[in-house]
């Protein structure tokens, strides 16, 4: 019997969280189904041993995550791919880029140019940017819920009037440096003035405000979300079609009603009856939170539970990984609720 194809995951993680590193559990699920075999490398954590790679079985495919945590030279990429036998490369770009202060790093672009396809969590202006810099086709796949959060079956705790807002500020002399951070600040200020709202803001850059609780570890997000009755956020790069940070999917995994910003190309997501409210302005978002806090806690919890079920059914890392790998390994991909965004955003073809 022929062994399933071996896929090498080249991670950009900077710490070893074992199975909780991005896509690792998803690869394990596909491997358990006998669809592939998986090997994991995190060069920012453990230096790559080229001799060991050359002596090991060559992979059928390499999936490289945006390698911003390590600077790669052309020579290093040549040596690594040479040791692997020159396999085809796919790229997953999980960050949003744009503006003068956040341009794709040369290290990222070197890998993206070696790829046969780029799978990006944002298209539109981002697809234009990446294709112009690389000449590689850009495909849309949204941010998804890590399986670690989907697998957490603990019952939500008692509801309170707390509103948990997760997000950082990046400023210089009090001026926001990244697109749409000004709206993020405006929403937090509005929530802080909302009657009956016990606001808790998690993330760096909020100073010593009474609502500022400081940063929270990535794997600790679900816990602080579940202490609240409503969660809120506001994305950067709101002009990028299809973009929403992974915090949207994680918030729905918490089983809480979530209020956040609306970007173009997100009409495939669930709506208010399933616990997700998208707003066009900070004022609309704050008013939505105010109305939600006036509703029966049992109804909020029921909507949050439906949102959690929707994410587990449609938007986990396994769903996204299947869609990335299916054209190359012959895997069956489940129906993608985001297919309309993928189709309506013009595919940037290779030059």
Q: Same structural domain for residues 310 and 322? A: no
Q: Using one digit for the tens of pLDDT, what is the confidence trace for 127-184?
A: 999 999 999 999 999 999 998 888 766 666 666 789 999 999 987 777 777 889 999 9
Q: Same structural domain for residues 154 and 131? A: no
In-domain check, residue 350: no
Q: Same structural domain for residues 164 and 304? A: yes
Q: Same structural domain for residues 234 and 159? A: yes
Q: What is the mean predicted confidence (pLDDT) over 236-259?
A: 96
* Contact by Cβ (8 Å): 37, 66: no
Q: What whole-number distance in Å separates Cα of residue 69 and Cα of residue 170?
A: 19
Q: What is the mean predicted confidence (pLDDT) over 60-83?
A: 89
Q: Same structural domain for residues 125 and 209? A: no
* Contact by Cβ (8 Å): 22, 11: yes
Q: Say which residue, 183 or 18, is predicted with more confidence.
A: 183
Q: Same structural domain for residues 262 and 327? A: no
Question: How big is the chain, counted in residues?
Answer: 351
What's the confidence (pLDDT) of residue 156? 62
Q: What is the mean predicted confidence (pLDDT) over 99-112?
A: 88
What's the confidence (pLDDT) of residue 150? 83
Q: What whole-number distance in Å separates Cα of residue 88 and Cα of residue 146?
A: 26
Q: Same structural domain for residues 330 and 303? A: no
Residue recorded with tokens 């990046």: 170
Percentage of the residues of the chain whose pLDDT score is greater than 90:
74
What's the confidence (pLDDT) of residue 170? 86
Q: Give pTM, 2 decimals.
A: 0.92
At residue 84, does pLDDT exceed 70?
yes
Q: Same structural domain for residues 223 and 155? A: yes
The parent domain of residue 86 ranges over 6-144+316-344
What's the confidence (pLDDT) of residue 345? 56
- Could you tell me the pLDDT band of residue 350, with boundaries at 50, 70 and 90? very low
Q: Same structural domain for residues 180 and 309? A: yes
For the chain, give the mean pLDDT: 91
Q: Same structural domain for residues 320 and 307? A: no
* Contact by Cβ (8 Å): 112, 133: yes
Q: Say which residue, 118 or 107, is predicted with more confidence.
A: 118
Q: Same structural domain for residues 158 and 90? A: no
What's the confidence (pLDDT) of residue 349? 44
Q: Same structural domain for residues 210 and 229? A: yes
Q: What whole-number distance in Å separates Cα of residue 167 and Cα of residue 181?
A: 10
CATH code at position 170? 3.40.50.2000
């Amino acid at each position: 019997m022929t062994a399933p194809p071996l896929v090498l995951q080249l991670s950009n993680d900077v710490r070893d969280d074992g199975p909780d590193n991005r896509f690792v559990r998803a690869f394990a699920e596909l491997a358990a189904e006998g669809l592939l075999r998986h090997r994991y490398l995190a060069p920012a954590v453990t230096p790559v041993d080229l001799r060991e790679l050359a002596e090991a079985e060559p992979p059928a495919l390499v999936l490289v995550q945006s390698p911003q945590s390590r600077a790669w030279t052309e020579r290093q990429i040549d040596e690594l791919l040479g040791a692997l036998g020159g396999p085809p490369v796919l790229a997953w770009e999980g960050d949003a880029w744009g503006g003068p202060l956040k341009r794709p790093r040369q290290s990222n672009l070197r890998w993206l140019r070696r790829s046969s396809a780029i799978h990006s969590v944002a298209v539109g202006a981002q697809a234009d940017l990446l294709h112009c810099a690389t000449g590689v086709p850009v495909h849309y796949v949204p941010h998804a819920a890590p399986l670690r959060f989907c697998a957490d079956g603990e019952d939500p705790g008692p509801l309170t009037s707390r509103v948990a807002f997760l997000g950082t500020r990046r400023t210089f002399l009090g001026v926001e440096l990244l697109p749409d951070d000004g709206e993020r600040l405006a929403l937090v200020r509005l929530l802080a003035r909302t009657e009956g709202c016990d606001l808790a803001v998690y993330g760096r850059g909020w100073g010593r405000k009474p609502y500022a609780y400081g940063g929270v570890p990535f794997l600790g997000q679900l816990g602080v979300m579940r202490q609240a009755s409503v969660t809120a956020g506001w994305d950067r790069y709101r002009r990028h079609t299809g973009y929403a940070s992974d915090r949207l999917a994680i918030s729905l995994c918490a089983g809480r009603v979530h209020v956040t910003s609306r970007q173009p190309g997100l009409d495939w997501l669930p709506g208010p009856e399933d616990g997700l409210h998208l707003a066009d302005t900070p004022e609309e978002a704050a008013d939505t939170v105010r109305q939600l806090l006036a509703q029966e806690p049992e109804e909020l919890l029921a909507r949050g539970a439906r949102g959690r079920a929707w994410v587990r059914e449609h938007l986990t890392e396994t769903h996204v990984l299947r869609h990335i790998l299916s054209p190359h390994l012959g895997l069956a991909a489940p129906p993608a609720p985001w297919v309309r965004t993928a189709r309506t955003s013009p595919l940037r073809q290779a030059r």
